[in-house]
Structure 1
Amino acid sequence: MDRADVIDAAFRDGVATGNLPSGAAAAGPLSREGAIAIFRAQCLSRNLDRRSRKMQAAGQGYYTIGSSGHEGMAGVAAALRPDDMAFLHYRDGAFQTMRSSQVPGVTPTWDMLLSFATSVEDPMSGGRHKVLGSRALNIPPQTSTIASHLPKAVGTAYSIGLAKRHRPEHAVLADDGIVMCSFGDASSNHSTAQGAINAACWTSYQSVPLPLLFVCEDNGIGISVRTPRGWVAANYAQKPGLKYFRANGLDLFDTYRAAQAAADYVRTQRKPAFLHLSLVRLYGHAGSDMQQTYLDKDIFEGWEADDPLLHSARLLIDSGALSAEEVLGIYDAAEAQCARVAEEVVTRPRLKTANDVMASIVPPKRACAPTNGPSEAARAEVFGGDLKAMTSPQPMSRLLNWAMNDLMLAHPEIACMGEDVGRKGGVYGVTQKLQARFGEDRVIDTLLDEQSILGLAMGMAHNGFVPIPEVQFLAYLHNAEDQIRGEAATLSFFSNGQFTNPMVLRIAGLGYQKGFGGHFHNDNSLGVLRDIPGVIVAVPSDGADGARMLRECVRLAREEQRVVVFVEPIALYPMRDLHGDKDGGWMRTYPAPDERIGLGEVGVSGDGPLAIVTYGNGRYLSEQAAPILRERGIETRIIDIRWLAPLPAEGIVAALDGAEKVLVVDECRRSGNVSEGLVTLLNERCDLPVARLAAEDSFIATGPAYAATMPSRDSIVDAVHSFWMGE
């Protein structure tokens, strides 16, 4: 027999006979009406869980991680305001049903069952996943995340104070609002949770406002692994900068009392708090989880005897708020409503085609106030003597710095964040002087944690900012890549475009640094970025292109709400010369602030019959190779693709008009990187012979062999010569 039916029968029998679990009497600030409202939300959440299991058994529902045993979260929702943004644990159906009762016009039964049925009419995901979330309820969607939502909750909480001082155009959160994020006891051990909570404590310790309520839903087990008794309290009760609250999550009065106290503390003190709720898990981890195979029967039967609905019934009956008949009446009404609505939602249309599924990967454009760019007076005040220097050629790092200045002058909603970006100005000086010119609010020196840096950016984007986070080196992104893959890139997808977190992530990367760092500071792999749906990846090859492309990246984030990764080739930051010592061949003058290179626009140098398709350092090396090849009678055209994801197919094909052969030069590794996509594209779209020169599948060494595994000027010359001559 399904344990859900066993628990249902036990609830009905316990209320009817008065055989209810013992516990403390109802106490605290919760009113009779408030308690009944919470109980209604708990009953609806429970019966939504039961109905989802029946739908799955009938082949009409999917993904049945339920919320049963965690109905105490309705008390947390009751203690918060509906405009407080909430990032929810996947067991927080009761939080959503309770908040639904606080916002007119919301239909939680209909909405959540549409989600269970994966109907295109699901108002949150449009049928793409069973998610908790609602635009009307200020709940961004979450799936079965393992604490990956905590870093952006920290960032969102931080954004509230910043928005009070610098209100962005698209701000959504109230100045006195707070942010809530919830998670399980097992997830609290995840490095992402540890990092986010540490970041919150680090911020609070410095008296920086951070109105964030962490809620740990402690049911004592993570799938099959038990949480050591007392571990959560021992781990979190004494954190510096974090106020600890605890409650019996089975007792709706005690939960509301503690949640209200914690929320009041966060709202008035603008500091983070940790609310620890003791709960139980009913039905197992998910619909497919057979907990009797790894738990003794007395363990899960003990949890069932502590069913929070039984505790709620006792408290309401003993306090005189409801009779036993009224308790059962509320429960029966919820069950009947769920059954009736379920019969209808399973008939509603579902996604059918690839285009249907993919429609929300790219977020919708949004209306933005027009900007004419920075005024000359403002530029003169900020740049000072640099204005004169702009008329002479400069290396890439300086031109990118000037572009950042102009962008921050033009768009006050831009904020930069990262390790060393402020006082130091970045490892390579690209953000030099920005903090002095625009202040610590807009150029934020963060702690050393890439997950927190990206979480800060995502959270600030939730509140209308256009963040430009920096990850110091490409290899460091791997510490936090799921913040892009699992959170930033999926938000529009799972919310049907209703929630977005636009950003321009700057990363210093790729190879060819002489004698510095090895594979941690020279990482020539972009595969982890290129395969994330919806993410734009850009790589400039010279300073003027870099400035123009960065402006387009900011436009894409600001107006089209895109997640953009701007990879800046480290070796080209200081590059001055191209063919000979002090020839200045790779320096450029600063382009006017209104000049951009549009998404998909490629660069072409030369018009020879041998086309070299490349990017970044590959373009620089190909330009070095071109005069040598010309001396051998081989004229080239160098096509700088600039945009690595999505590949600018139309621009590449157009640039190949009149070419006879194509060599792809890729500074990244042969496997899983750009050249594979380029060769495939060329074979599909062009009737031309294609060859490839790519880096070896190797990490990069330090010292004299720093470039040994990657293309060079000479290897490009040799590859072109052999390919052209048919050798």
Structure 2
Amino acid sequence: MLTKTQDARIEAADTAPQPMTMIQALRSAMDVMMERDPQVVVFGQDVGYFGGVFRVTEGLQAKYGKTRCFDTPISEGGIVGVAVGMAAYGLRPVAEIQFADYFYPAADQLVSEAARLRFRSAADFTCPLTVRMPCGGGIYGGQTHSQSPEALFTHVCGLRTVMPSNPYDAKGLLISAIESEDPVIFLEPKRLYNGPFDGHHDRPVVPWSRHPMGNVPAGHYRVPLESAAVFRPGSQVTVLAYGTMVWVSECAARETGIDAEIIDLRSIWPMDLDTVVASVKKTGRCVIVHEATRTSGFGAELAALVQEHCFYHLEAPIERVAGWDTPYPHAQEWAYFPGPDRVGAALRRVLEQEGRA
């Protein structure tokens, strides 16, 4: 397994690394920030006494009390609306939407209030709000527990959209999100909570405790927002991915033997365009992989950006590998996901092109 090139801009942590799952790394990020900053509050459905449906917030209420980590009614609009008010008042709320599929009742608060507060107040107010949302499939959750709505957030000026692929990045990005003065949509791939998947089955390839990216410092550190990572260096083709699809793409490259350079976007928007452009100009080919449906997915924006900035360097048409353009198929979710076979076929297609005349 080839590991990610470490970002030189990552701040050094103040404690030695220890094995963590993504769940533990996210909890550690909130723990660190709640300890450092009394203005940080954590809330959402079942996040207090119960510790969250995925146990990400387990133990935080016992440690910090019911005024710092507390449960809310089943009202996503209320959760985000209250969070916007808290952020404007000077707190740093970390609100959980139990599944990303549930954010729609809160869309008006996110789009019309959180995203625009800084602009409509001429920066008199900011909105340092983080909204955590488990996203994607892998638990047979059906149509209302498995969606990947990241493209909807990237269309909203004023929102930042983040999706980590591993515990180390998850903690560093969440700390950066909580410290940001802008609202951040923090999407957490459920399939990666306990270990990376290769896409062929629903069991981890290797537990995070035995993977280098599962070694997470216990203290405070940041992974900068808007900073992509070279997950796997390569020379034949660039793969642009994020979240679970980073691991699926790595498996496809390994199984096909193709020397693919995999770029993990990490911050989906605003994104690190410089890293993307440099890689595509180097390889001359580009495959884009995401779990969400193909039509109007974020891959379309990526394809447009690569076309605009790398046209004269492209040796083959840009390929997209994505979910089906259908409602989420509960019984067929492992066929719905882009897997190593579909990604590998796309890699082979772009390499079969003859290139520029």
* Bin of the TM-score, shorter chain as denominator length: 0.7 to 0.9
The amino acid across from 2:94 in the alignment is: I
Match of 2:139 in 1: 514
In the alignment, residue 293 of structure 2 is paired with which amino acid?
R
The alpha-carbon deviation at position 643 of structure 1 amounts to: 1.1
Match of 2:288 in 1: 664
Report matched runs for 1:257-336 at 5 Å.
none
Question: 8 Å contact 1:461–1:502 — kept in the other structure?
Answer: yes
2:277 equivalent to 1:649: no
Secondary structure of 1:593's aligned partner:
coil
Counterpart check, 1:398 vs 2:16: no
Alignment-mate amino acid for residue 145 of structure 2 = H
Distance in 2 between the 1:655 and 1:722 partners?
19
Within 5 Å, give how 1:30-69 maps onto structure 2: none
**Which residue of 2 is the match for residue 290 of structure 1?**
none
> What SS does the aligned partner of 1:431 have?
coil
Q: For 1:606-647, what per-residue CA distance to the aligned partner results, in whole angstroms no more than 9, with x for missing partners?
A: 2232111111111010111121121xxx21110011111123
Structure 1 runs of 4+ with >6 Å offset: 372-376, 579-582
Amino acid corresponding to residue 698 of structure 1 in structure 2: T
Q: Which among 233, 255, 258 is matched to residue 628 of structure 1?
A: 255
1:563 aligns to what?
183
- Asked if 1:609 is matched to 2:233, the reply is no
Distance 1:717 1:467 in 2: 42
Q: Which AA in structure 2 matches 1:536?
A: R
1:449 aligns with 2:69: no
Q: Is the 8 A contact 1:374 1:410 kept in 2?
A: no
Q: Is the CA contact 1:535–1:565 (under 8 Å) kept in the aligned structure 2?
A: yes
* TM, length-normalised to structure 1: 0.44
Residue by residue, what CA displacement relative to the aligned partner does 1:365-396 show, whole Å, maximum 9, x if unpaired? xxxxxxx99998xxxxxxxxxx9xx62x3321
Q: Which amino acid aligns with 1:549?
A: L
Which residue does the alignment assign to 2:84? Answer: 458
User: Normalized against structure 2, the TM-score is what?
Assistant: 0.87
CA distance in 2, matches of 1:572, 1:469: 20
Count residues with an aligned counterpart.
Answer: 333
Residue 554 of structure 1: CA displacement?
A: 1.6
**Aligned-pair RMSD on alpha carbons?**
2.4
Task: State the 1:602 CA deviation.
Answer: 0.7
* Residue 43 of structure 2: aligned partner: 417
Residue pair 2:118, 2:124 contacting (<8 A) in 1 also = yes
The one of 709, 717, 726 aligned to 2:336? 709
Deviation at 1:441, TM superposition (A): 0.6
Instruction: Give the alignment of 1:26-175 within 5 angstroms.
Output: none
> Match for 1:524 among 148, 155, 172?
148
Q: Which runs of 5+ in 1 are unaligned?
A: 1-371, 377-386
In structure 2, which of residues 320, 324, 327 is the aligned counterpart of residue 696 of structure 1? 324
- Write the mapping of 1:338-487 to structure 2, written as runs, cut at 5 A: 391=18, 393-487=19-113
- Matches of 1:597 and 1:654 in 2, distance apart? 20
8 Å CA contact retained: 1:414, 1:466: yes
CA distance in 1, matches of 2:259, 2:281: 15
User: CA distance change for structure 1 residues 666 and 472 in 2, over 3 Å: closer, same or farther?
Assistant: same
More strand by share: 2
State the Cα distance separating 1:484 from its structure 2 match: 0.5
Shift of 1:443: 0.4
Amino acid aligned to 2:161? V
Change (3 A) 1:437 1:581: closer
User: For the structure 1 residues 464 and 668, does the alpha-carbon distance in structure 2 shift closer, same or farther, using more than 3 Å as the test?
Assistant: same
How much has 1:416 moved relative to structure 2?
Answer: 0.7
1:611 maps to a residue whose letter is T
- The whole-number CA distance in structure 2 between the counterparts of 1:582 and 1:564 is 30
How far 1:707 sits from its partner (Å)? Answer: 2.6
1:721 is aligned to 2:341 = no
How far apart in 2 are the matches of 1:654 and 1:375? Answer: 32
| Higher RCO (CA < 8 A, seq sep 6+) | 2
* More deviation, 583-592/573-582: 573-582
- Taking a change above 3 Å as real, the CA distance of residues 373 and 666 of structure 1, as seen in their structure-2 partners, is closer
2:14/2:217 contact within 8 Å kept: no
1-structure distance, mates of 2:276, 2:204: 33
Secondary structure of the residue aligned to 2:96 is strand
